[in-house]
Structure 1
Amino acid sequence: MASIRKRVRKDGSTAHQVRWREGGARDGAPQAEVFDSEPEAKQFQALVDAHNQHWPPGWVKGEGFVQPGEGDEGKKVITFATWAEHFVETLTGVEVRTRHDYRRDIKRHFLPWFGDKDVCSPEAIGPDHIRRWVNALESGERDKKNKEAWVRKPVSPKTIANLHGLLYGIFQSAVEAQPALRAANPCSRTRLPRTDDGIVDEMVFLEREEFTIVREAMGKICKGDAVDLIDIMVGTGLRWGEISALQVRDITIRGAHKVLRVQRAWKRQEDNTFLLGKPKTKKSRRSVVLSPALVEILERNIAGKRAEDFVFTTAWGNPWRHGNFFHRRWTPAVSLAQDSGLTKKPRPHDLRHTHVSWLIAANVPLPAIQARLGHESITTTVDRYGHLVQQLDDEVAAAVEAAMTGERPALRIAS
């Protein structure tokens, strides 16, 4: 793997030297290239790694990528790697971690195919290249020597769609640049794998009896110190980053006004540490009405605490971290629950999905569910949970019948 070494020049500026051995061999000839900025060095480092520790084709040391021109002259080209970094660096309104994840996906999924190609050239990167890239991700690559092993595992349709969206954005920024670098976006009209072709449903919905099995199992882990936490998770539908960031001042349970306000959430930083920040979207900053049972749980968890104390904490008084909760509470509890007859394998986030399924079973309208979950758009709610709205079939049929015949449908009294 190529490495980067920082050095201070005599004039006080910093140089970033990318170093590697030709072909990655221990006895390979030492190679190096110097850059003024760290992002440029990281781009080149990724290109060297993508080309198995060789100089990227077309790269001239000290000059960059050079495209042959007429006679002995040449012109400097803008590589996809360079433009992709420019795209990420100039994005506005995104979290630090999002920028980090974009760079990770570019290095892992884009540079091996497009890294050294001219981003301006339809011949270098066109619609056919994008389609071949999609097919390569979908099929993966088997090890030629061991057909049971993967050199590159297949990528799920959902991930391909997400990657394609990022790739589309990179090329669209080239189309909209002033002056334009391309006349058209090669990602336009790419037919992507269907995201509903999988046999296994990504979301797990627990029936009330199934959640009870999980809850009882959780009660046997570490004296049941996480039972209240999962009760509030399934009772409110809050995301993990929201519920683990919940503070005493976010709870109002005086008089008839009993609500929980989502004001902040934990945000993963580039170095994998966490900081408190704003919720995921504008709509995520919301109030969630509390039932008497939820109020009772929250009252005992905030008793004696100060306004800025966290509602749910570990035995040491620290806020829960997902990894700690998942490995030391959730996984053992699910294993015990499966021993007791649970046939599903839910994740903590599936408690949010379960919350929605219970609301839909009670005929709560999707717009109300959207507001409770903090979805930015009703489309998100419908796309994810619309298939659960089956109990309303009779009501829909009655409404259509009434509209066509003029007869008023009978009111259904909820029990």
Structure 2
Amino acid sequence: MASIVERPKKIGITYQVKWRQDGAWQTENFGDEDSAMTFKGLVEAHGNKWPHGWIKGLGFVEPEPHPNDPPFGDYAHTYVDSLNTVDDRTKHDYKRDIERHFLGVRYTGAAGIERRLGGLVHTAPDGTEHPPTICNVTQADVNEWVRRQRHVLTAPDDPETVLRAKASAKSVANRHGLLYCIFQAAVEAEPSLRETNPCRKTGLPRQDEGSDEEMVFLEHEEYARISFELRAFDPNAADLADFLVGTGMRWGEATALQVRDINWTTGKVNVQRAWKRQDDNSFKIGPPKTKKARRLVMLTPELLDMLRRHVAGRRPEDWIFRGGQGKAWRHSNFYHRKWERALGEAIKKGLGKRPRIHDLRHTHVAWLIAQNISPAAIQARLGHESITTTMDRYGHLLNNLDEEIAAAVANAMRVAGPHEGLRPVRSA
């Protein structure tokens, strides 16, 4: 805690703010008590440290502008354009985040003046706000941007009009990751545009908020209800759902499988392509999500029998799962015409959950964990790039194995005691 000490001088009283920072005493002097009280509050708000931007004896001082300080939006777009390891759709999504979430939502008020709302701004020491540039954004600005992302954005002149919904913790983390990379590129530029990355110490919201609502895990009987309703009006749709829950594949991987991808000798299917959304919302075939997503997936005898029915009389390059007119399934068509209908019927008959199609992948993992399959094996089967991804998403399900783990430890420690089977050695 900081304190204020009155120090009489010939010309009056000086009010000294005094506090310990990293074990050393720090002080700042003021000519009036109100200013000292204000500064004391700032010190304590910053964890008993000098407030960011404050220069001893001078107060808040705006740093000298960098001679080459591009507007944040221009630099961010140039950075995304320079990325060679991502596809065009990903670049399109990055640029959407730049425009909508970093620069803010465009809004035209009653006066006809367009403004940017809810984006990244730089707040100067005097409290005035300025458009963000690569050099003027501070850690405090980034923290304030995170706070804004976590609240609903409404129109200034009409609170009932929602301009942007509250972002989930995961969405904020993903956007912050892009923001970090943009500023890190400025730090590492030659010559460097910044000394430090303002995103380096950002406090992000916990990503496990609402995780139970985001992922739905189905019991075998619950999935059986949905499968029964699907099969009642479209057996082909039910077969695709069975394949998804039986392999844990992503939708874009399973629907991109061709007849030639099945190895009937080994009983495995080769995942080597996936559907990719384009800028115009069309789809085209591309590589899977990551390098590890290129994988071989073992199939059950039941799934192999089902695939034999689907590929009979087909050419090697034909899709295994096909919708109308022999074309590959589209997610929106399957969801609205098949999945929602079957799910609605299952809910009417007692199903207490509302899973998405992607929850079949989560359900597959839950079933594997229930059978004591190791996380490393699950990682390989799902095509996760890192075991960390697998554990972050599904590690909480391992709690169900507490009894099995305890039994295994007890069995390992069940060895003969030091007195069993041994005879004392008598000294000569």
Please confirm whether the aligned pair reaches a TM-score higher than 0.5, indicating the same fold: yes
The change in CA–CA distance for 1:396 and 1:195 in structure 2 (over 3 A counts) is same
Correspondent of 2:373 among 364, 374, 377: 364
Pairwise CA distance, 1:403: 6.0
Q: Deviations over 1:297-338 (max 9, x none)?
A: 111001110100000111311111111111111111111111
User: Which position in structure 2 is the counterpart of 1:348?
Assistant: 357
Unmatched runs of 5 consecutive residues or more in structure 1: 1-68, 409-415
Matching of residue 234 in structure 1 with residue 248 in structure 2: no
Listed as ranges, the matches of 1:330-341 within 5 Å are: 330-341=339-350
Distance 1:340 1:258 in 2: 36
Mapping of residues 30-179 of structure 1, within 5 Å? 77-112=69-104, 113-114=119-120, 117=131, 119-121=133-135, 124-143=136-155, 147=159, 149-179=161-191
- Letter in structure 1 aligned against 2:341: P
Structure 1 pair 162/120, CA: closer, same or farther in 2 (3 Å)? closer
Letter in 2 for 1:119: T
- In 1, distance between residues paired with 2:268 and 2:278? 30
Task: Return the alpha-carbon distance in structure 2 between the equivalents of residues 130 and 314 of structure 1.
Answer: 47
CA contact (8 A) 1:78 1:118 kept: no
Matches of 1:355 and 1:120 in 2, distance apart?
45
AA aligned to 1:228 is: D
Secondary structure of 1:100's counterpart equals helix
The residue aligned with 1:6 is: none
CA shift for structure 1 position 200:
4.6
| One of 200, 203, 217 as aligned partner of 2:229 | 217
Determine the structure 2 residue equivalent to 1:252.
Answer: 263
**Sequence identity percentage:** 50
In structure 2, the CA distance between the partners of 1:159 and 1:238, relative to structure 1 (3 Å rule), is: same
- 2:198 aligned with 1:186: yes
Kept after mapping to 1: 8 A contact 2:120/2:142? no
Instruction: State the shift of 1:129 in Å.
Output: 0.6
**After alignment, is 395-404 or 335-344 more displaced?**
395-404
Determine helix, strand or coil for the equivalent of 2:150.
helix
**Is the CA contact 1:363–1:391 (under 8 Å) kept in the aligned structure 2?**
no
3-state secondary structure, aligned to 1:267: strand
* Structure 2 Cα separation of the partners of residues 198 and 214 of structure 1: 24
Structure of higher CA gyration radius: 2
Which of residues 243, 254, 262 is equivalent to 1:243? 254
The one-letter code matched in structure 1 to 2:142 is I
**Structural RMSD (CA):** 2.2
- Measured against aligned partners, the alpha-carbon deviations of 1:347-399 in whole angstroms (never above 9, x if no partner) come to 11111111111111111111111111111111111111111113421232234
Alignment partners' CA distance in 1, 2:183 and 2:384: 28
Query: How far did residue 77 of structure 1 move?
Result: 3.6
Q: 3-state DSSP class of the match of 2:322?
A: coil
1:51-74 per-position Cα deviation (integer Å, ceiling 9, x unaligned) = xxxxxxxxxxxxxxxxxx99xxx9
SS of 1:139 mapped into structure 2: coil
- CA distance in 1 between counterparts of 2:379 and 2:325 reads 35
Alignment map for 1:263-274 (pairs within 5 Å): 263-274=272-283
TM-score for both structures, normalised by structure 2: 0.73
One-letter amino acid matched to 1:305:
R
Alignment partners' CA distance in 2, 1:244 and 1:399 = 41
How far apart are the structure 1 equivalents of 2:247 and 2:211? Answer: 29
Deviations 1:132-190 (A, max 9, x none): 11111112234556655534321111111111111111111100101100000111111
Q: Structure 1 length normalisation: TM-score?
A: 0.75
| 8 Å Cα contact 2:187-2:193 kept in structure 1 | yes
Q: Is the 8 A contact 1:233 1:351 kept in 2?
A: yes
**Greater CA drift, 147-156 or 343-352:** 147-156
Structure 2: which 5+ runs fail to align? 1-63, 105-118, 122-129, 418-428
Q: 1:215-246: CA deviations, max 9, x gaps?
A: 0111233x433111111111111100001100
| CA distance in 2: counterparts of 1:128 and 1:93, whole angstroms | 31
The answer to whether 1:313 aligns with 2:322 is yes
Q: Any conservation in 1 of the 2:257–2:271 contact (CA below 8 Å)?
A: yes
2: CA distance between counterparts of 1:341 and 1:114? Answer: 47
Q: Is the 8 A contact 2:75 2:134 kept in 1?
A: no
Return the offset for 1:198: 2.4
In structure 1, the partner of 2:213 is 201
**Amino acid of the structure 2 residue aligned with 1:235:** G
* Change beyond 3 A, Cα 1:118–1:192: closer
